[in-house]
Structure 1
Amino acid sequence: MSAGLLFLRLVLVFGWTIGSQWDSDVSAAHTIYDKLSIKRNISKRELKCGEREYAAENICCKECAPGSFKLADCTNDNKTSNCKPCEEGSTFMDHYNSLHVCRRCKSCDSELGFEVAETCTVTQNTKCRCKQHYFCNSSDSCHHCDPCSKCENGAIEKVCTPTTNTICKRNFWWIYLVIGIVIAIASLSAVAAYCYKKKRKDFDVNNQMLSRVVHKPPTSEVEPLVYTDVDLSAHIPAIVEVMTLPQVKAFVRKHEIPEPAIEQTLQDYINDSTEQKIKLFHMWYQHHGMKGAYENLIVSLRELKMRAVADKIEKKLNAVTFSSQENGRSNVNTAEQSSTHSDRHNV
């Protein structure tokens, strides 16, 4: 073997030996590092800190108080963390903490209907509420406020608050309208029923009076007969006494007394209305005659809507008729008694 080949072989053997030794050393180093890391992690997991403390590496540090944040962890020599106060008016921290920054203060957006209720401090966030005429009744935190409702005609039962909407009074105008209509219909019905009953009663009275004239059977009692042929000439002053001149004129015109005769009578007694009424009534009575005159008088007055006048005249003439009948019966009884006494005397 030549000298060159022998040298090359020695170099290769030496290199292989050195490489093997290096790999062995690197592997051993990694093994040692892994063991140390596992030991450190186990130690960290087994570290238990007290209330208001936190774990930092292998020691327990005190948390920062409300109103501040952690600037740096504590050390083995000083267990108190390096804390820095929050910025007044812009940031806050409302609890013990180990955070690196304070929380930013909330803003109350007026576009969403909010206003500031309590300003932000280093230990308390801003408190918002719904501004005037706005409300939010959400059980959760409000994200916006709604405008308060407006009541018709200002009929408010409960005013709007930041947490409750306006409560309006119930409007019962339609109930009042219905009640008014019902009352009006009931009133009209009552009036109509009353008018119908009154008209029916008057109709029945007239029928009864006519029936008494035509169909009244003779009775044993002496009663004033209605619509009998009474001589009215002696009663004309009493009749016209309850009538006005226009009523007398309307009555005689109804019975076709000529207008010139009426005007002439009025001119003859121009200053005496009583005499005018008497003469006009005489004119009608002479034209009509006694037969049926009483009945014609009463019926005509009722047809002319002079019912009250007809009732008064009827009452007067009935009283006169009844009195005449009573006198006649008295005279008959007196004559009968005189005749009987004379007969007895002759016997």
Structure 2
Amino acid sequence: MSAGLLFLRLVLVFGWTIGSQCDSDVPPAHTIYDKLSIKRNISKRELKCKEGEYAAENICCKMCPPGSFKFGDCTKDKNTTCKPCIEGSTYVNYDNSLDKCRRCRSCDSELDLEVAEHCTVTQDTKCRCKQHYFCNSSGPCHHCDPCSKCENGAIEKECTPTTNTICKRNFWWILLVVVGIVIAIASLSAVAAYCYKKKRQDFDLNNQMRHWVVHKPPTPEMEHLVYPDVDLSTYIPAIVEEMTLTQVKNFVRRHEIPEPAIEQTVQDHLNDSTEQKIKLFHIWYQHHGMKGAYGNLIVSLRKFNMRTVADKIEKKLNVVTSSSQENGRSNINTAEQSSALSDGHNV
């Protein structure tokens, strides 16, 4: 009996030893899960698609061909869903995974451009300068300049859509210019010497007579040159009413408003020139700010050879500012009268 118990005890000890060894070889469940997650993340990071494919979730999808855009990603059972661009309106000129086609460019006749090649689903519109105009840019042309005219028709090379006219050199003309410059310099030197002598004489005379200098008060004409800071945002429709679309474009372009912003504004209001003018002027006003905007507007218009427009706008705004000033003076006088009456009652 004791021998049987001893045998049973040896069997149990042997079984426990083998079980412990097996348990030590099996990793815990959370360790297995972590290793699987790491493998999945590594495989996702290492997903590299071939040329002409793009990554979507955990698979590579074939890109849409030129002239179409991606409407839906591919799956294991279905290819990428592509839809065609709208002919004459949108385009894509390369293999892509875009969600929509790109908008075709328009050739603005106000900038002296015309269509060279119409837009297709695989190619954007190509513009060129109209006859007697040329583009001065090495990249895509955004506006054209008028071709130069040669004196007496002495043309060496005709104007093209990409190059200006080249005139023949007239050495007699160059000689006349040089002579004219020499004469002008001599005349200016003589005038400067005379003015210096005259001022010296006046200075000596003033020292002898010792007169007090009486400063005249500023005249209304001088005050007219000082422009108040007026909030122009309320009067923009009235301002652009006196200007053509071409003049507004020229004005904002001269004030370094980017050409893409101008083109986008025109596209957003394609059939409403009044709204185009208002929006373009708003861009300039936001860019400049209220301080000094009124004076900058009037001075710039005159500098850009739009004096008639400047006079009309100044006349309109002067009526408004004069009215505001009169109301301000009236309010001040009323306040002073009220204060005087109050003092009289107190006495």
How would you bin the TM-score normalised by the shorter chain? 0.3 to 0.5
How high is the TM-score relative to the length of structure 1?
Answer: 0.39
Q: Name which one, 1 or 2, has greater alpha-carbon Rg.
A: 1
How high is the TM-score relative to the length of structure 2?
Answer: 0.39
